[in-house]
Structure 1
Amino acid sequence: MKAVITVIGQDTVGVVAKVSAVCAELNINIEDVSQSIMQDMFCMIMLVDLSKANAGAAEVRDRFAALGKEMKMQVTVTRQEVFDAMHTI
């Protein structure tokens, strides 16, 4: 199962490292990353593979939400099935 992790907030040192560390901790494979800084806002989108994650979907979501609070940023995890459902008639 694939998912998209988005990170948005005030640019600061170590954002990519912290998000990557949580991915490693949860055995989530990062497949692609896009990031940019718009004025002073950091924006990152990661495509990840959850198929070998050592935690369930709710725990993964909660762990990244907690990381977002810690970094004072918005960090969300959206599973592929949500995108699939949005495009199904």
Structure 2
Amino acid sequence: MKQRRAVVSVIGKDQVGIIAKVTNILADNSINILDISQTILQDFFTMMMLVDVTGKENLEQLQQQLDELSEEMGLKINIQLEEIFQAMHRI
């Protein structure tokens, strides 16, 4: 089975617990993080993760959980299949 990957992006005001809460949702859904990059510019937080979603037919339930966290913490969190992400960001 070919590995299926997705990109998770998190943007918002820096605060305690962002990484912990996002990665807990991923762990609860048995999703492995393949790569992670995060940076803070003044108090603006950004994080990109490449995750393995092999075997996950539908990402809607996961996006719903991330949306709930977004609302709770005042963040913007998205998950997109890698091929869609690459197609949207091709020059």
TM-score (norm 2): 0.84
* 1:83 paired residue number: 85
Shift in Å at residue 83 of structure 1? Answer: 3.0
The amino acid across from 2:10 in the alignment is V
Gaps of 5+ in 2: none
Partner of 2:73: 71
Q: Which amino acid is 2:16 matched to?
A: V
Instruction: Give the corresponding residue for 1:32.
Output: 35
C-alpha offsets along residues 8-46 of structure 1, whole Å, 9 cap, x if unaligned?
A: 001001111000100011111101110000111010000
- Alpha-carbon distance in structure 2 between the residues aligned to 1:8 and 1:25: 21
Taking only the aligned residue pairs, the percentage that are identical comes to: 40
**Aligned length, in residue pairs:** 87
- Alpha-carbon RMSD across the aligned residues, in angstroms, is 1.9
Alpha-carbon spacing, 1:57–1:12, altered in 2? closer, same or farther (3 Å): same
On the 8 A contact 1:4/1:47 being kept in 2, the answer is yes
* Moved beyond 2 Å, runs of 4+: 83-88
Length-normalised TM-score, structure 1: 0.86
- Decide whether the 8 Å contact of 1:28 with 1:52 is kept in 2: no
Give the gaps of 5 or more residues in structure 1.
none
Q: More deviation in 15-24 or 56-65? A: 56-65
